[in-house]
Amino acid sequence: MITGGCADDPEVSRHVDLQPIEAAGESHADARGSAVVRSFARGTDVELEVEGLLESEAYVAHIHNQPCQHDPPGGDHWKRDPDAGEGADNEIHLNFHTFADGTAQSSTHSGLEAHEDMKSIVVHLATVPDDLDMKTDRALCGDVGGDR
Ligand SMILES: [Cu+2]
């Protein structure tokens, strides 16, 4: 349950099934997650649950602007205004820390309203090896479903 979210009745709720990205390798092969994206006239709530991640690690997740089949999976960050800058006032971010069993839950309320470019949720690797960059540091991806 989200408390302190946008409103009682979302206009649209979309479910997201997150699967491991192959490039993340063995360490995340069993990672899974699910999320709900609720759209309101005045913003967006996201609830995320993950398991099978590294123990007691920090992760970041974002809403992205391409589907998971895109290369790289999820493309770039979704931006409410594509011409404006990065950061939480134009993007939707979730920061979380896993428990000792590799699970975590995270939720966020953003004042940014959804639009069609909201295609996926990407969970980035907690620790980025030297030979990876933001395009290849992805642990999980899930397409934002179109169901109403
Ligand atoms: Cu991202």
- Gap from CA of 100 to ligand 1 centroid (Å): 24
User: Average of pLDDT values for 1-28?
Assistant: 79
- Gap from CA of 74 to ligand 1 centroid (Å): 8
Q: Are 114 and 39 in contact (CB under 8 A)?
A: yes
Phi, psi (rounded to 5 degrees) for 22: -55, -40
pLDDT given for residue 1 in this prediction: 47
Please report whether residue 51 resides in a domain. yes
CATH number at residue 64: 2.60.40.200
Please report whether residue 84 resides in a domain. yes
User: Average of pLDDT values for 108-124?
Assistant: 93
- Gap from CA of 9 to ligand 1 centroid (Å): 28
Please report whether residue 16 resides in a domain. yes
Please report whether residue 1 resides in a domain. no
Please report whether residue 148 resides in a domain. no
CA nearest to 35, candidates 131, 116, 107, 132? 107
* Domain membership of residue 74 as a residue range: 12-143
Please report whether residue 19 resides in a domain. yes
pLDDT given for residue 130 in this prediction: 58
Q: How many domains does the chain have?
A: 1
Instruction: Please give the model's pTM, rounded to 2 decimal places.
Output: 0.88
Predicted confidence band of residue 146 (pLDDT cuts 50, 70, 90): low
Predicted confidence band of residue 21 (pLDDT cuts 50, 70, 90): very high
- Gap from CA of 119 to ligand 1 centroid (Å): 12
Predicted confidence band of residue 135 (pLDDT cuts 50, 70, 90): low
Model pLDDT for residues 54-95, shown as the tens digit of each residue: 999 999 999 999 999 999 999 999 999 999 998 889 999 999
